[in-house]
Amino acid sequence: MLTHVNDEGRPGMVGVGEKAVTLRVARARSVVRLPLSAAEHFRGGELYMKKGPVFQTAIVAGTMAAKRTWDLIPFCHPVALEACRISIDLSRDGRVTIDCEVSVHHRTGVEMEALTGASVAALTVYDMCKALSHEIAIEETMLLEKRGGASDYRRPDPQEEETRDER
């Protein structure tokens, strides 16, 4: 059963007032694929475009978005995040991996905040690099982990599996 739909089929926000306050943590990832011609511009460090430093700007944008998820997704509860960490790595093949981890002591999970932070950081990389190529693609966005609340979840890390497969 969908939690945001009542017995009459009408959408609505889930009531969390009776839930216990616990530490809630979520980690999400977005992957941006840069064509090698665009990725070459990053060799040797951070890429600065006319709009500013690409990865640093993406981290700020992703953090701002995670904090405002409830403004973007209709049935998300307002959550005052206690932490938001975004890391961005560029592989040799042009893959930009953006991880966003958020945490809060609250009655509701923060999966959507982590997913929103990673997604907006990816969109920011795209926006800032689109002058280099229109072949840039945001390939995937996924929840990697959530802790706290009724159940925990952990997806096997796709990059760790790739590393094991290469051995």
- The string over 17-40, giving b where at least 16 C-beta atoms fall within 10 Å of a residue's C-beta and e elsewhere, is eeeeeeebbbbbbbbbbbeeebbe
- As a whole number of angstroms, the distance between CA 46 and CA 129 comes to 12
What are the structure tokens assigned to 34, written together?
Answer: 């840069």
Q: What is the C-alpha separation between 42 and 35, in angstroms, rounded?
A: 12
**7 an active-site residue?**
no
**What is the C-alpha separation between 66 and 87, in angstroms, rounded?**
14
The catalytically annotated residue of 71, 93, 127, 165 is 127
What Å distances lie between residue 153 and 5, 29, 46, 62, CA to CA? 23, 14, 33, 22
Using DSSP, state whether 23 is helix, strand or coil.
strand
Catalytic residues, which ones? 127
